[in-house]
Amino acid sequence: MTNKQYQEYATKRSETSPCIINCIKAFITGGLICMIGEAFKQLYLYLNIDSDTSLLFASLSIILLTAISTGLGFFDKIARFGKGGALVPISGFANAITSEAIESKSEGLITGVATKMFTIAGPVIIYGITASIIYGLFYYIFIM
């Protein structure tokens, strides 16, 4: 197959992505996930939990819901509809870890689940910890 033949073949096989519709779906999906997080925050505030703790509990609630819906196969449907909007950082992170854990459970708890669930999340965790240490040192040296 020549390069020109391949180009023709690839053009016929590739789908065009409806960019505007995908952006709208992502906006709606991400917005709904954030609204659910805000609803949890308001619930915890209503239960007389202080503001900082209610933010923490709201984040944990989104993580838990994402992990459960990933395990049940429901989050995949949300992600297919909402594309990048479903991958709002906290839900996308929870989905990535849970998906890896589910896929590798047949390899055992240690060599499968414990090892592979941080394949995707590991670099993100390391970067976050390193960045927070550097920021903390910068803040301590120059601001305090």
Q: Does some domain include residue 3?
A: no
Residue 32 DSSP code = H
Q: Does some domain include residue 5?
A: no
Ranking 74-83, 89-98, 129-138 by mean pLDDT, the lowest is: 89-98
Q: Does some domain include residue 4?
A: no
Q: Does some domain include residue 129?
A: yes
pTM above 0.85, yes or no: no
Number of domains making up the chain:
1
Q: Does some domain include residue 117?
A: yes
Determine the Cα–Cα distance for residues 17 and 34; give it in Å rounded to an integer: 25
For residue 140 the two structure tokens come to 């301590």
Q: Report pLDDT digits (tens) over 109-125.
A: 666 666 666 676 777 77
Q: Does some domain include residue 8?
A: no
More confident residue, 36 or 116: 36
Q: Does some domain include residue 104?
A: yes
Long-range pairs for 38-42 at CB < 8 Å and ≥24 separation?
none
Residue-range definition of the domain harbouring residue 115: 17-142
User: Residue 44 pLDDT > 80, yes or no?
Assistant: yes
